[in-house]
Amino acid sequence: MPPPVVMTIAGSDSGGGAGIQADLKTFAAHDTFGTCAITCVTAQTPNVVAGIAPIDPEMVALQIRTVCSAFALRAIKTGMLFSAAIINATADVLLSCGSIPLVIDPVMVATSGARLLEDDAVHALTTRMMPLARVVTPNVPEAEVLAGRPVVDHEAMREAARRIAGQYGIACVVKGGHMQGEGIMDVLCDHDDIIEISGSRVPDAQTHGTGCMYSAALAAGLAHGDSLPDAVERAQSHVRGALAGQRP
């Protein structure tokens, strides 16, 4: 059987560690065939984003529409969408692509601290894209924005996941990598059920691109027919393995 086909809608990382480049490598590692629609071209490394050039929203939509017309997509993930115009164009075309599981990585700020989502785009993300998703995968700072409250401990992670899932009618995974402690705990809320997925932390690791890898691995799991909790476990395991395998 041919591998399932998945698509990433995200920015290009010239340093190769995040964005489209990280997504396609992750798709390949999980025996899926990766396609893409590029939203922005960036000049960046793990330490700095030197420049961002957004793609024309009509071209973003054309990339998505062309791929959807040629491939039987089993899952789609979004990453860096950058602007309200790109988000609106993406949402419009996804509505015409049929019922395909959508994973949203609500990329707002790079690991280096650079803003990757314009201020007026947050409203478009929450009102146009989030209702289309199967699951959204915020890290702790992103969960604070989406939930509208601080996330300072594991109970606050659970509450944030509940609030986000309830408000948008989708599943939510609040990723625990930003929390202190020897281990990692991700919190999944799906249909009011809370599931905690725990794992070990890789010390002193370079975390650039981990959010991209996580959501891409989760999308690959859904494309293979994994349940959502199993896909989340797959995603956490993939990121842990990638961090553990880093070399200077």
Tens-place pLDDT, residues 161-213: 999 999 999 999 999 977 777 788 999 999 889 999 998 888 777 888 999 99
Mapped onto helix, strand or coil, the DSSP state of residue 10 is strand
Tens of pLDDT, residues 33-69: 999 999 999 999 988 999 999 999 999 999 999 999 9
On the question of pLDDT at 112 being above 70, the answer is no
On the question of pLDDT at 247 being above 70, the answer is no
Domains and CATH numbers, the chain: 5-225 (3.40.1190.20)
Angle, to 10 degrees, between the axis of helix 210-223 and the axis of helix 19-29? 40
Q: What is the pLDDT of residue 178?
A: 75
The bridge status of strand 135-136 relative to strand 171-174 is parallel
Active site residues: 175, 207, 209-212
Mapped onto helix, strand or coil, the DSSP state of residue 60 is helix
- In total, the chain counts a number of residues equal to 248
Tell me which residue has tokens 């409203």. Answer: 123
Tens of pLDDT, residues 77-87: 999 999 999 99
